[in-house]
Amino acid sequence: MACANWARAALLAALLAVMTLAPFPAPAADDPEVAAYRRAVEQRFAAWLQALWPDAEAAGVSRATFDANLKGLKLNWSLPHLVLPSPAGPDGPPLPQSLVKAMAPKHQPEFDSPAFYFKEGTLNALAATGRAKVAQFRPTLVAIQKQYGVPASIVVAIWGRETGFGKIDGPNDAVSTIATQAFMGRRPDEFRPQLIAALKIIEEGHATRAQLKSSWAGAMGYTQFMPKDFEAFAVDFDGDGKRDIWNSAPDAGSKMLNSMLPNSPEVTTPPS
């Protein structure tokens, strides 16, 4: 019964996670003023990226990895809540009001009544998936639970809540998304080191650039973590030589618990 309860409550909420992962539509650039403004901003962005090299090199990123992933990189204009520079740069074109209107926050369905997303049949199907995952990964879940002292059901519940057990793939390129947030997001100082950490993930071979898909805020993998969290807490729990939160349930689950409660008391009751 306990398994069914947490599966129903947490896993079905994964439907809402689909919407939080979705990007906003990119504004049209066919307006001449908008096109000129965006070109000027992209030029500033290219120069800003190159200025990151000393920090990237100091962090252990090779020039080859740096150039392969940042040279020619474009801003992700579809992201919400961007802080558009005005003007585009010194002596650059002003911010067009048509672009301001086009990028204004749009209606988001997650603010509607959630009743549509919680139909009984859908909930039952998702709960069944949760129970199947517990059975499929029982030995691994027991091992993770013993090592980190956290009930294994939490691993499965968060996995289901965040990405529907990996079925919900982030729609954005993580490098472009994080770089955009670092350049003209609301918290640039927080995202700049995240970009360097994303390059380190590629440099160290934990994931390819193609695998680095993210939400609009840059969260990645089965349990939606930022690159700096990966750097600090990711674990190679399955012993394949990689810390893989994109394809390995053991690695993703152990990394999540390692970041949450690394010093909690040991819990030995297996998942039920």
The better pLDDT of the pair 29, 254 is held by 254
Nearest to 136 by CA among 150, 151, 155: 155
Indicate the pTM of the whole model. 0.73
Q: Quick: pLDDT tens for 65-123.
A: 999 999 999 999 999 989 999 999 888 999 999 998 888 766 554 555 566 556 677 66
Q: Which of 25-34, 35-44, 225-234 has the lowest mean pLDDT?
A: 25-34
Phi-psi region of 72 (alpha: psi -120 to 50; beta: other; left: phi over 0): left
Maximum average pLDDT range among 59-63, 214-218, 234-238: 59-63
Predicted confidence band of residue 220 (pLDDT cuts 50, 70, 90): confident
pLDDT in tens, 108-167: 545 555 665 566 776 677 778 878 888 888 888 888 788 777 777 777 777 766 666 666
